[in-house]
A and B are shown apart, each in its own frame.
Chain A
């Protein structure tokens, strides 16, 4: 059973701080990793994708991937109250009969305090 694990939180940070969200996964063969943001009652929206070891930056967001440790993280710099949401880590199955299926973690709830 392929698994994606996240701390459920809530993670509370003050406005302007760096929020760090972590995710581990069990499938060593996975090559594709995604972070989704979900506001309460709304559908998830993709904010970052990463495929290679190292860091990938997009505005205030940085995704980090370490395939050897099976670990992916999301950093949010200069956190804003509008960043308060649940962040879902997703891992794509990249081989076998379930190739293309996206496995989601349970999500980490982030709260940014003004």
Chain B
């Protein structure tokens, strides 16, 4: 089954404690992306990747890091989380050069206390 898998689905943690949200896809997609979603602000892109070792900033990259060492994985790293990073996060993937649908993970709800 084609899917994008995010882990964890829910996390409550404290300010300053480094965390990683993993994202994995099994469709051999070149393109992967991370979004955060807050009430009234829609989906805001954090980082995206066009292929292995190629990453680019989205609209709200501050406080986040990503890496793309393998095609299937695109982890989101919060080195020193702060309460303003409390949000619902989505990972997505798609083929870069055609119009096949973009697939989304089920989301990760992060609460930073």
> Residues on A close to B: CB < 8 A?
8, 32, 34, 41-46, 49, 51, 88, 90, 92, 97-107
Which one, B42, B45, B97, B101, contacts A105 given CB within 8 A? B42
Which one, A32, A43, A100, A107, contacts B42 given CB within 8 A? A107
Cβ contact within 8 Å between A43 and B43: no
Cβ contact within 8 Å between B41 and A106: yes
Cβ contact within 8 Å between B104 and A88: no
> Residues on B close to A: CB < 8 A?
30-31, 33, 35, 40-43, 45, 48, 50, 56, 88, 90, 92, 94-97, 99, 101-102, 104-107
A106 to B101, CA, bound (A): 19
Cβ–Cβ < 8 Å partners of B43 in chain A:
44, 88, 104, 106-107
Cβ contact within 8 Å between A102 and B102: yes
Cβ contact within 8 Å between A43 and B105: yes
Cβ contact within 8 Å between A88 and B48: no
Cβ–Cβ < 8 Å partners of A103 in chain B:
45
A105 to B97, CA, bound (A): 21
Cβ contact within 8 Å between B99 and A100: no
Cβ contact within 8 Å between B40 and A8: yes
Cβ–Cβ < 8 Å partners of A42 in chain B:
106-107
Interchain nearest-CB distance for B24 vs A (Å): 15
A108 to B7, CA, bound (A): 28
Cβ contact within 8 Å between A100 and B50: yes
